[in-house]
């Protein structure tokens, strides 16, 4: 696994051995960031269920001004820290170690407004998608024009419309799907 483009291009990232994590593939990350394009530059990005941190690190490499990593699995938190250290990334990042909903709620209380929130829970925890999307639909936790992006398996059908969030695009690549959501109504 490597950083695809930008400041840290071609640098190798660590992962956990075994099936503990299912990192976003290089190809899917490349597709994601090709779609986001220049919008990543100077953005505030949240990598939720961060795993190895590859998505958030890719955002930093492509010019994001700040990335918050949210991950509760302690070995994965350690891998993210090692990946950040190996790249010399010490500023513009915050590591939140805990349950995704709890950490997103804390961010909401801080009145933070990320431009992008990326969700990639373990595929076997399908209920996490619904729980987090419902929270984000109700919370004031997305900048105007911001996006929520969910990476999920083709077998999981996510809602196309919640109360305020609407799926604006889906990209299928192999067994994975990227679902892009945007706010369509103010709270």
Q: What is the pLDDT of residues 48-62, one digit of tens each?
A: 999 999 999 999 999
At 23, is the pLDDT very low, low, confident or very high (cuts 50, 70, 90)? confident
Please give the pLDDT value at position 122: 85
Query: Using an 8 Å Cβ cutoff, are 21 and 80 in contact?
Result: no
Please give the pLDDT value at position 17: 75
Read off the pLDDT of each residue in 135-158 and give the average, rounded to a whole number.
95
- Per CATH, the architecture of 26-183 is what? 3-Layer(aba) Sandwich (3.40)
Q: What is the pLDDT of residues 86-123, one digit of tens each?
A: 999 999 999 999 999 999 999 999 999 999 999 999 87
- Give how far Cα 143 sits from Cα of 1, 37, 115, 152, Å: 30, 17, 5, 23
Q: What is the pTM of this model?
A: 0.94
Read off the pLDDT of each residue in 62-90 and give the average, rounded to a whole number.
96
């Amino acid at each position: 696994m490597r950083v695809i483009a930008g400041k840290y291009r071609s640098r190798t990232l660590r992962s956990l051995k075994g099936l503990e994590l299912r990192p976003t593939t290089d190809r899917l990350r490349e597709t994601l960031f090709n779609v986001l394009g220049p919008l990543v530059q100077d953005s505030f990005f949240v990598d939720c269920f961060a795993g190895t941190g590859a998505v958030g690190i890719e955002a930093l490499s492509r010019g994001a001004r700040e990335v918050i990593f949210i991950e509760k699995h302690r070995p994965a938190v350690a891998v993210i820290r090692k990946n950040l250290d190996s790249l010399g990334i010490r500023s513009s990042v915050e590591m939140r170690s805990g349950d995704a909903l709890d950490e997103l709620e804390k961010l909401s209380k801080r009145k933070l407004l990320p431009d992008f929130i990326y969700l990639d829970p373990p595929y076997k925890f399908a209920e996490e998608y619904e729980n987090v999307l419902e929270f984000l639909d109700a919370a004031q936790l997305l900048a105007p024009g911001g996006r929520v992006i969910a990476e999920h398996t083709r077998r999981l059908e996510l809602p196309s419309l919640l109360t305020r969030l609407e799926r604006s695009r889906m990209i299928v690549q192999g067994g994975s799907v990227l679902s892009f959501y945007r706010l369509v109504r103010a709270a």
